Amino acid sequence: MRPAPRKIAVMGAGSWGTTFAKVLADAGAESGTEVMVWARRNEVAIEINTRHTNTRYLRETMLPANITSSSDTSEVLAGADLVVLAVPAQSLREQLLGFKDSLEPTAVLMSLMKGLERGTDLRMSEVIAEVTNMPEERIAVLSGPNLAMEIARKQPTASVVACRELETASWIAAMCSTDYFRPYTNTDVIGVEIGGIAKNVIALAVGICDGMGMGDNTKSSIITRGLAETTRLALALGGSYETLSGLAGLGDLVATCSSSLSRNNTAGRLLGQGLYLDEVNDRMSQTAEGIKSGRAVLDLATRHNVEVPITEAVVMVLEGTLSVENMGSRLLGRRLKSEGELN
């Protein structure tokens, strides 16, 4: 087992990046672990350092004293044994190319992002490996029901840390375990990532139904069949059924589809109320990753001959080839079949 980290770098000062920095700081308070957050805007770094808040994303939530921040990537990464990546998924490659030379030679990288890279359809762990040439035992991901504001308020939650090397996953889990945040470990990186990626698109579908005034029967049906198509895709890629029935699959799907704190659910609801996609994007203060990754998820499924009818319908709505009013009839008009069929 690696020794406890001297310093942890969190690259990204959005709601989830800042919240997870808080988790790490709370967990490492007694050991004296330094947690440093990279903020793209210098004024955010100044606020974190002087007021111990990040009001744009976490309102008046107080951050622990052992969190510091800087807009200088080299300063944040210097001496960091663990680097937590919390930038928008579509900007990961560009960000990594900019600071990979500042990484410590033995650093472990962990992704908090839940998206596929558009154009390549790569998962975030695959982008990390491609850009940094880092071995898989030093690349991890974290997923699960991670609504940032609830965790920032110390409401109890559980998540999954996944790495192909179980020892690495256990090392990370030990440094983010608190009385309100319980990390489990897993070696199924594919399943954990696909669960976190696909649920964003399903949450858009549930939000659309919400916005159109549909009831709980409709939304429950979408969630259940959404889990089925997510599981089909994960299995086709080499993931585990057990992963998708756990926190990174079912757990994350339920939280994202049912909570008003979910960005993807909110974006879908606005679409269901009749707003155009540009109007939805203008109203959102943070990225709804399902909007960005929907096409990539559909392309990945198509390439592996996996039927994902809910995802396909959502992408058609996003691309303007299907109206929200006709989405339901398209899904219900599919051929009759056994619920247990894989496709």
Query: Tens digits of per-residue pLDDT, 27-61?
Result: 987 788 999 999 999 999 999 999 999 999 999 99
Average the pLDDT over 266-280 and give the result: 92
The mean pLDDT of the chain is 93
In this prediction, residue 328 carries a pLDDT of 77
Of the residues 199, 219, 292, 337, only one is catalytic, namely: 199
The percent of residues in the chain predicted with pLDDT above 90, rounded, is 83
pLDDT bin (cut points 50, 70, 90) of residue 1 is low
The yes-or-no verdict on residue 338 having pLDDT over 90 is: no
The model's pLDDT over 179-190, given as tens digits with 9 standing for 90+, comes to 999 999 999 999
Q: Is the pLDDT confidence value at 337 over 70? A: no
- In tens, the pLDDT along 89-125 reads 999 999 999 999 999 999 999 999 999 998 999 999 9
Q: Helices in the chain by DSSP H: which ranges?
A: 15-27, 42-51, 55-58, 73-77, 92-99, 124-132, 148-152, 166-175, 189-211, 216-237, 241-244, 252-258, 263-272, 277-283, 289-303, 309-318, 324-332
Could you report the per-residue pLDDT of 219-236, keeping only the tens digit for each?
999 999 999 999 999 999
Q: Which residues pair with 34 in a beta bridge?
A: 7
* 199 assigned to active site: yes
